[in-house]
Structure formats: structure tokens, C-alpha cells
Structure 1
Amino acid sequence: MYGVDQQPFGVTVNYRHSFHAGNSADVVKHALLIALVRALQQKEGALTLIDTHAGCGLYDLQGDQAQRTGESVHGVLRAFADHDALLDDYRAAVQAVNAAGYLRLYPGSPRVLAQLLRPQDALILNEKHPDDARTLRAAMRDTPAAVHERDAYELWLAMVPPRTARGLVVVDPPYEQVDERARITATLALAHRKWGHGVTAIWYPLKDRAAHRRWTDDMRALAIPKFLTIEHWLYDDDQPGVYNGAGLFIVNPPYAFTQALPPLLDALRTALAPEGHRGELSANWLGAA
């Protein structure tokens, strides 16, 4: 499922959402996105939420692709078996797309973000893959989301700054292209020049620490003042060829989010730690906070 290349950053992972719906990376990503949007909504002003790689929007955990990997067993099912109240918002977002007491469907980021919208907020989704875009439109039919079918990085630059004074860009690619990280770094640099106070969350998978450290160094070199990285390592040591977790780069996270982060990270780490491993889930500033 995961391929390895010889590019400077070391790996492509061919991370199609449908194969990995509800895994540990989704749990961490969506729990943190919910907390991030809620923190931004502590101010009444309108928000524009932009998802550059939206995927299909909704996934069948009992479908062929999800069943082929079975990763939800180590992700959303563990989160639902856990009783920490700090995960209640995440569990509620998943339960909202399922019948009471039943867990078959998993909401992608578009459905999670749609649940958080207030009347004054807007949601812009983009999915370049034609089949996935068609599925996305069907999944979002009952929401006010606008759906685009464009190059993600072109759309990212075109949509910032948004019409509202505040907003959030979510960048969540499948990392199928060997230049994906380089494109993210270059586009972030341009987008930050256009929209210096904007909030951006960039999701990434993790395999080996050395390769990720090289990309982190390149991101740090952008010299963005308020730049947070959150890393979730499932296993205590690198295991070559094995997916080892995921993380988020977050530009301009609001104070309310960073203050509430430590206990939420600990709750997620505890719920998702594999058998025999403590796991690591930490947050660090890349620039001067």
C-alpha cells in the first residue's frame, strides 16, 4: 500500500482517503480540526473554511477499500471504546453521520467542517479527481458547501485572502506525487505573503523521522513567526516500511487552541497507542510563537 521513492524527502505514501478512513491519523486530524475551528469561533466574525484536497466527503467503513486495510479498528473504534470526555466532540461528529448506536460511515474533513458551520460561515471544498469530486458533491448535497474541481495548489492561492476577514485553509493531500511536499512548501510561502494572518492546517503522514526532519527544516526556513507542528508517532522506534503516524503543521493557531492542546493530545495518545507502545503526540513551535 505504501511506496518508497528516492526523492529528498524520502517517501510517497499513496494515501487515498478511502483506504484509510477512520484510522488513527483521521482521529487525530479531525479531533484537532474540530478544536481549531471551535477556538476560531470564539469570535463572532464570519469564517471561510477551505479544504484543498477534500476527497469523497463520506466513507463506508464496511466497504471493500476500508475493509482491505482494516485501519479503523486501530483508530475510530479505539476512540469510541475510550471514555475520555475530551474526545466527546470528535465522537459526536462521527456519530452524526450514523444511526444511533451504529458505526458504519466515517465523515471526511468536508463533513466534519460542515457540521461546525454557523450561519455566517462559508465552506469551500476542492477535489481534482473527477470520480471523487462527483461523490463529494453527492455527499455534501445537504450542506451549503461550494465544491470545486481544480488543481489544489492553484485554488489555495486563488482563494486567499478570503472574502471574510478570517478563515482556515485545510491542506490534506494523498502524497502520491514525489514533489508534493515541495509544492506545499512553495505554495505556503506564497499564500502567507498574501494572507499573513490567515490560519492554515497542513496534514502529513509519517514514516521515518529523518525524512520528516528534512521537510520540517525546509518549513522552518520559511520563517513564519507563528508556526506550530503537531506530530503523532504511533511506534516508539522507526520501523522501516511501516506507516508510523501523522501530524499537522498549523500556521497562526489561535491562543484558545494552543492553551487547550496539551490535555487533548494526551487523551488522543492514550486512546490510540498500539499494544506494547506508549506512542508520542507532541506540539512544538517552528518559529517564535
Structure 2
Amino acid sequence: MNYRHSFHAGNSADVVKHSLLIALIRALQQKPGALTLIDTHAGCGLYDLGGSDAQRTGEATQGVLRAFAGTNPLLDDYRAAVRAVNAGDEARLYPGSPQFLTQLLRPQDLLILNEKHPEDADTLRGVMRGSGAAVHERDAYELWLAMVPPRTARGVVVVDPPYEQTDERARIARTLAAANRKWAHGVTVIWYPLKERITHARWKEQLRKLGIPKFLVIEHWLYDSEQPGIYNGAGLFIVNPPYAFTQDLPPLLEAARAALAPEGHRGEIICEWLGA
């Protein structure tokens, strides 16, 4: 599956990913100590929902536009973050993860961004100019391992690859295992698309064997039954999520499910500890 950001900006996966990312960072910021935020696959940073890539898929209509049409206050922080990059209330531009993270930065926090694709990296530098973020153009997995542990006592690594390579999941597993040996208390967020449940269950089992103690699995399945051969949803693996985040998670996940359920489907959210 090719999941280049520009084709899928603002889709249902982005709504779930970014609303949870906001909640996670804010939970960590309940403590005053500095955070280092590292985005290994940062993309362009900002996307035109009227552009040719986004219009080709039209996925924002089933994602951010549904979230904007809703009124559940639990999604207010997400909607506010999207509005912050738009001139009015309408979502014409969509912020990538770097923009969401920038909005969350406190003076003591640091932001490190990485994008290997040369054209996207150039665009990212322009979008992030003046933000104080460090922008790298390196192999994502090499950077991930090189940057942990960060200079600050606490930090978050966000891993959001396009899954273009057949060995993407294997590289994630290897790098996560190595990073966890270096930085066992670090927080890591790994995004993934969902297609076949069997394939996903196999990967979960591989990750379970890493033996990481606090490993949260969140799956957002759009349809009431598996739709073979198509995109069925997306999820997040979160290593070492703070208690303040997991405590408030169920109602936020329910708000996202209700907002994003396709016509005729209720959808499903699975939230569980890996190995529990």
C-alpha cells in the first residue's frame, strides 16, 4: 500500500491519528519538564484539500469534513488545530503532523522533523520556517535510532510511514526493538493502515514477542465487516502512554467512531494492551 500523505490528507485516519496525538501530548505536558517531539516521516507539513492529489481520492469528505460537521466537544481541540491553519471556519488546508506538533509546543519543548523524500523535505522546510523546528532529510529508521534517547528527559517519537516498501513493518519492528533497548521509558506512536485482519493480527503477534511491557493497540475499523482488498481503517501502536491519556481515551475514541462511521455502518474501535 502506498500511503503518501498528499493523497490522503484529512481522511478518517488523520482525524483519529491527530485527535489522539493532541490528547497524548497534552497529557504528557501536565508535567512541566521539557519534551522532545520527533516525527520520522513528516511529509510536507501542510496540504491543499483542493489540490489535485487530495481531489483525486476525495478522502477528506469522509474525514475532516465529517469531523467539522459534528458537534461533539471532545473533537473541539482537533477542529481548532485545523482551523488554525485556515483563514476561516472552512477546512481548505490540512495540517500534517508537524503543524499539529508545532501548535502544541511550549517554550521548553523541542521539535525534530524528518522527511526523506527530497521534494517533500523542501516543502516542509518552507512550511516550518520560523517555527524553530529542526528539519532533517535522512532515512527515517536511522534517524529514529540516532535521536533516542533525546537530550530532554522525556520525549515522543511519531512514526507515520507511507508503507511503500514490502519490508516496512519488519523495519519498524527491528527499529522499535533497538530503540526500546536504548530508551525503555520513551513514548513511541506508530501509525498503520488496516486492510486484512489476518495480516494485521500476524504483525501484532510479531510486535508482542518484543516483550515491551506498556504497549497499547488502537484500531479504528470503518466497516462492520471486513471489506476485502480495500482500506478498512487505521490504527496506532503507542508505547508507554501516560495514565492521563489512557484514562480519557474511551470517550474520545467513541466520539471519533461516531463522527467517521460510513453510511450504513457503525464501525468499530478496538483498544487493548498488547499481550494483555
TM-score interval, smaller chain: over 0.9
**Paired residue for 1:36?**
24
Please give the TM-score of this superposition, normalised by the length of structure 1.
0.95
> Do the aligned partners of 1:31 and 1:87 also contact (CA within 8 Å) in 2?
yes
Partner of residue 213 from structure 1, selected from 201, 204, 226: 201
Query: Counterpart of 2:179 in structure 1: which amino acid?
Result: A
Q: Does 1:156 align with 2:141?
A: no
Q: CA deviation at 1:102?
A: 2.6
* Structure 1: unaligned runs, 5 residues or longer: 1-12
> Do the aligned partners of 1:226 and 1:287 also contact (CA within 8 Å) in 2?
no
Q: Does 1:166 align with 2:154?
A: yes
**Paired residue for 1:3?**
none
CA RMSD of aligned residues (A): 0.6
**In structure 1, how many angstroms separate the alpha carbons of the residues matched to 2:88 and 2:30?**
29
Q: CA deviation at 1:30?
A: 0.2
* Structure 2: unaligned runs, 5 residues or longer: none
Query: Counterpart of 1:197 in structure 2: which amino acid?
Result: H
Q: Does 1:145 align with 2:149?
A: no
Partner of residue 252 from structure 2, selected from 249, 264, 267: 264
Q: CA deviation at 1:100?
A: 2.0
The 3-state SS of whatever aligns with 2:228 is: coil
Structure 1 runs of 4+ off > 4 angstroms?
Answer: none
**Paired residue for 1:50?**
38
> Do the aligned partners of 1:203 and 1:247 also contact (CA within 8 Å) in 2?
yes
Query: Counterpart of 1:257 in structure 2: which amino acid?
Result: F
**Paired residue for 1:251?**
239
Query: Counterpart of 1:216 in structure 2: which amino acid?
Result: K
**In structure 2, how many angstroms separate the alpha carbons of the residues matched to 1:269 and 1:248?**
14
The 3-state SS of whatever aligns with 2:188 is: strand
Q: CA deviation at 1:110?
A: 0.3
- CA-to-aligned-CA distance 1:80-104 (integer Å, 9 cap, x gap): 0010000000000000000122321
**In structure 2, how many angstroms separate the alpha carbons of the residues matched to 1:117 and 1:101?**
23
Aligned ranges for residues 24-103 of structure 1 at < 5 Å? Answer: 24-103=12-91
**In structure 2, how many angstroms separate the alpha carbons of the residues matched to 1:229 and 1:140?**
31
- CA-to-aligned-CA distance 1:190-213 (integer Å, 9 cap, x gap): 000000000000000000100000
**Paired residue for 2:190?**
202
Q: CA deviation at 1:255?
A: 0.2
**Paired residue for 1:108?**
96
> Do the aligned partners of 1:17 and 1:174 also contact (CA within 8 Å) in 2?
yes
**Paired residue for 1:18?**
6
Please give the TM-score of this superposition, normalised by the length of structure 2.
0.99
**In structure 1, how many angstroms separate the alpha carbons of the residues matched to 2:48 and 2:56?**
12
Query: Counterpart of 2:220 in structure 1: which amino acid?
Result: H
The 3-state SS of whatever aligns with 1:136 is: helix
**Paired residue for 1:7?**
none
The 3-state SS of whatever aligns with 1:118 is: coil
**Paired residue for 2:165?**
177
The 3-state SS of whatever aligns with 1:270 is: helix
**In structure 2, how many angstroms separate the alpha carbons of the residues matched to 1:151 and 1:218?**
23
Aligned ranges for residues 3-14 of structure 1 at < 5 Å? Answer: 13-14=1-2
Q: CA deviation at 1:287?
A: 3.7
Q: Does 1:236 align with 2:221?
A: no
* Count of residues in Structure 1 that have an aligned counterpart in Structure 2: 276
The 3-state SS of whatever aligns with 2:79 is: helix
The 3-state SS of whatever aligns with 2:135 is: strand
Percent identity of paired positions between Structure 1 and Structure 2: 78
**In structure 1, how many angstroms separate the alpha carbons of the residues matched to 2:188 and 2:96?**
18
- CA-to-aligned-CA distance 1:201-251 (integer Å, 9 cap, x gap): 000000010000000000001010000000000011111111000000000
**Paired residue for 1:277?**
265
> Do the aligned partners of 1:265 and 1:282 also contact (CA within 8 Å) in 2?
no
Query: Counterpart of 2:230 in structure 1: which amino acid?
Result: V
Q: CA deviation at 1:282?
A: 2.1
